[in-house]
């Protein structure tokens, strides 16, 4: 009797005995993510499940990421197969209004410049000794687009999925802090005061319907490997603009992204196991990820200055910073900065155009990277 009691008691406290200091640190990291999501409102939809997943997976003897574990099942089913990021993209497409971009198509070019940080970061990562595919995974944090970063990383560097996803989502919420100093440093006060004309031109519904179809065909012919991402975002947008599948649009805007975000967040958190996460590579990934977003902003603002010069002062370079995929935070930052220097300046509409351009640009950049990797025989 006493022996059975002792063995049962031992089993009950075995979790405490098996807890390593590395796991304790990772549980603390998970709690920090929960704090940032709950108390600071930094991307709570993602940071809450990620943080909780990180806590769960670092509790010893739970077996959640072992072959028949629950979190392993979510991870294998949704992340390794790349289904989760693609489903999120259907929702993003259904929630995105491309009219501000269609009103002034040239703004789309800012969405290209806003991705240059990705490629500059790849060079830096290679210089710091990372492998080629790891460097691509780190660079794609600069897309400022969580699903894209997860999609690329899960294909070519799944061991970096945890730090890349955490960096991609947490830095996205730091855009209002990261961008303004760079925007101010690279522009003159005169440039920041430029008032952009409000275009009253309306875009026909036919154009809005054909746009996602045309974008899918053109971009997938250029970069076929990006088809799952671009195809899904444009499918979502076509459903929205067609106006004939209200039920599907409702699901794409609510139920699908809600369920997928929960499972995706948990799966990402599950990759943050102490033995895989606590190393210098993670610090390198987090540092280079931040740099990627800063370089995106630099290149976007510089391209904005070029457009300002070419159009003889009709484009406010501040909207260049909105050429990243962090929607709609980056557009709001451009609006706030513009109004700070000129109360009568309403940049939001133009910045939204650049921001949606950044969404298309980030997916395009990822598709091109994947196609190049395939072309080089690395993937």
Question: What residues make contact with another protein under the rule CB under 8 A?
Answer: 101-102, 105-106, 108-109, 111-113, 115-116, 118-120, 122-123, 126-127, 132, 135-136, 201-204, 206-207, 210-211, 214-215, 218-219, 222-223, 357, 360-361, 364-365, 368-369, 372, 376, 378
Picking from 76, 65, 296, the residue whose alpha carbon sits closest to that of residue 186 is: 296
Nearer to another protein by Cβ, of 115 and 173: the residue is: 115
Nearer to another protein by Cβ, of 23 and 362: the residue is: 362
* CB 366 to another protein: min, Å: 9
CA–CA separation, 53 and 273 (whole Å): 10
Nearer to another protein by Cβ, of 147 and 257: the residue is: 147
Nearer to another protein by Cβ, of 153 and 261: the residue is: 153
CA–CA separation, 337 and 112 (whole Å): 22
Nearer to another protein by Cβ, of 225 and 276: the residue is: 225
* CB 7 to another protein: min, Å: 56
* CB 307 to another protein: min, Å: 12
* CB 289 to another protein: min, Å: 17
Instruction: Tell me if 74 sits within 8 A of 270, measured CB to CB.
Output: yes
DSSP state of 194: P
* CB 97 to another protein: min, Å: 14
Contacts 24+ apart (CB under 8 A), 125-131: 125/284, 125/288, 128/284, 128/288, 130/281, 130/284
Nearer to another protein by Cβ, of 130 and 348: the residue is: 130
R_g of the chain computed on alpha carbons: 22
- Going through 45-137 in order, the beta strands assigned E by DSSP cover none
Nearer to another protein by Cβ, of 3 and 201: the residue is: 201
Nearer to another protein by Cβ, of 33 and 108: the residue is: 108
* CB 206 to another protein: min, Å: 4
Give the angle subtended at the CA of 160 by the CAs of 157 and 161, to the nearest 5°. 95
CA–CA separation, 64 and 268 (whole Å): 13
Residue 347 in tokens: 């940049």
* CB 102 to another protein: min, Å: 6
* CB 10 to another protein: min, Å: 52
What is the sign of the dihedral through the CA atoms of 107, 111, 114 and 117?
negative
How would you label 50-68 residue by residue, b for 16+ Cβ within 10 Å and e otherwise?
bbbbbbbbbeeeeebbeee
């Amino acid at each position: 009797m006493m022996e059975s009691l002792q063995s049962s008691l031992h089993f009950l406290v075995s979790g405490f005995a098996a807890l390593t200091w590395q796991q304790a640190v990772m549980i603390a990291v998970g709690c920090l993510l929960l704090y940032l999501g709950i108390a600071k409102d930094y991307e709570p939809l993602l940071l809450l499940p990620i943080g909780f997943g990180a806590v769960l997976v670092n509790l010893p003897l739970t077996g959640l990421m072992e072959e028949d574990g629950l979190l392993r099942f979510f991870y294998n089913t949704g992340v390794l197969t790349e289904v989760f990021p693609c489903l999120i993209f259907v929702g993003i497409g259904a929630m995105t209004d491309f009219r501000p971009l269609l009103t002034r198509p040239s703004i789309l070019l800012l969405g290209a410049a806003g991705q240059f940080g990705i490629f500059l970061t790849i060079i830096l990562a290679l210089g710091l000794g990372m492998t080629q595919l790891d460097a691509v995974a780190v660079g794609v944090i600069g897309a400022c687009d969580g699903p894209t970063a997860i999609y690329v990383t899960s294909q070519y560097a799944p061991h970096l999925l945890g730090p890349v996803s955490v960096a991609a989502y947490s830095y996205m919420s730091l855009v209002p802090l990261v961008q303004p100093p760079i925007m101010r440093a690279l522009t003159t006060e005169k440039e920041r005061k430029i008032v952009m004309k409000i275009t009253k031109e309306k875009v026909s519904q036919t154009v809005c319907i054909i746009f996602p179809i045309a974008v899918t065909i053109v971009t997938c012919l250029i970069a076929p490997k990006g088809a799952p991402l671009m195809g899904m975002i444009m499918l979502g947008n076509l459903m929205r603009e067609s106006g004939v599948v209200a039920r599907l649009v409702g699901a794409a805007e609510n139920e699908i992204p809600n369920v997928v975000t929960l499972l995706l967040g948990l799966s990402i958190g599950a990759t943050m196991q102490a033995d895989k996460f606590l190393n210098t590579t993670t610090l390198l990934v987090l540092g280079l990820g931040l740099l990627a977003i800063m370089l995106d902003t630099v290149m976007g603002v510089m391209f904005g200055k070029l457009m300002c010069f070419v159009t003889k002062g009709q484009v406010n370079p501040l909207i260049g910073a909105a050429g990243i995929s962090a929607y709609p935070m980056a557009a709001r930052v451009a609006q706030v900065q513009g109004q700070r220097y000129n109360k009568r300046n309403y940049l939001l509409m133009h910045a939204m155009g650049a921001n949606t351009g950044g969404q298309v640009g980030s997916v395009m950049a990822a598709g091109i990277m994947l196609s190049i990797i395939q072309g080089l025989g690395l993937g």
